[in-house]
Amino acid sequence: MAKPPLRILLCAPRGFCAGVIRAIDAVEKALSLYGPPVYVRHEIVHNKYVVESLRKKGAVFVDELEEIPPTDAPVIFSAHGVPKSVPAAAAVRRFFAIDATCPLVTKVHREAELHHRRGRTVVLVGHARHPEVVGTMGQLPDGAVLLVETLADVERLAPREPDNLAYVTQTTLSVDDTKDLVAALAARFPTIVGPHKEDICYATTNRQEAVKRVAPEVDAMIVVGSPNSSNSQRLKEVAERAGCAISRLILRAEDIDWSLFQGLQSLGITAGASAPEVLVEEIIDAFDAHYTIEVETVSTADESVFFPLPRDLRVSGAA
């Protein structure tokens, strides 16, 4: 029997952003220069496929520095950033530490530190326990950062000096949710100081805009990414809010629940900033086995951002 037709709208931009590419390249460059093992604190990026690929090459992922034995091997901090206590602990143990924090996360860290030096209490808009949030809060002394996750949190906020506040945000949030939270903060605290340029990174914004364009036009939407990836989860939520009846976050083709994707005429596909293009292609191939597909790319922005490797790897590479 002939396969039914399926129009696939492929979001662009999608997949790896400059910060993720930099972090993965840092691990691979360290492996190339120094050989295995290369230790990585936490997942270098939130994607199981990427982590397993690097593990096979000799990367050793740990939750905390205490798990690393005495070593001269490189110890890399993930793209999400770390509290100041982590590089301090690495220095005490004389580790060869390499910081692969995304430069856009580092920007948020510096903003928070600047506000603190100017005597302001910092309000962080973000998700509790996310590694990026833990890292940002860990730039300042305990109590110097107040975390808000919901509008209810904003209502409950009771800073000691309500007229002397500033806010920063996690880089991978929903643009729309963050806009609402920032508006609520400004309504309650009219003198609150915001960043000169919004903290949500270009890649998060661009991928969400592409989903907003595609989601209303398709029967179902697939976001390629890991469940623990904040920006991937936000893409799924954006698709749902844009009116897509079926929106699913899927890591691999083997995870597709085909009972949800029967009788489709159109399908949107995007990928979180930590998901490699090979997984997008894998999922397209899976649908090609069930449908006669026609793939069309819907582009909403061009991306040309590039971040160089951490300095230690550049210097070593040049040497």
Catalytic status, residue 217 = no
Q: How far apart are CA 13 and CA 78, in angstroms?
A: 23
Alpha helices in 151-201 (DSSP H): 151-156, 175-188
| Residue from 28, 111, 132, 237 carrying the catalytic annotation | 132
Helices 202-214 & 230-241 angle (0-180, nearest 10): 30
CB 112 within 8 A of CB 168: yes
Measure Cα distances from 131 to 16, 134, 232, 289, 308 in Å.
Answer: 19, 5, 15, 38, 22
Helices 202-214 & 175-188 angle (0-180, nearest 10): 120
Beta bridge partners of 6: 293
Please report where in the chains the tokens 């990585």 appear, as a residue.
40
Q: How far apart are CA 207 and CA 128, in angstroms?
A: 23
Q: How far apart are CA 43 and CA 251, in angstroms?
A: 16
CB 103 within 8 A of CB 126: no
CB atoms near residue 170 (< 10 Å) = 25
Q: Strands (DSSP E) along 219-265, which ranges?
A: 220-224, 246-250
Q: Strands (DSSP E) along the chain, which ranges?
A: 5-12, 38-41, 59-62, 74-77, 96-99, 121-125, 145-148, 165-169, 220-224, 246-250, 266-271, 292-299
Q: How far apart are CA 196 and CA 237, in angstroms?
A: 27
Number of residues assigned to the chain = 319
Active site residues: 132
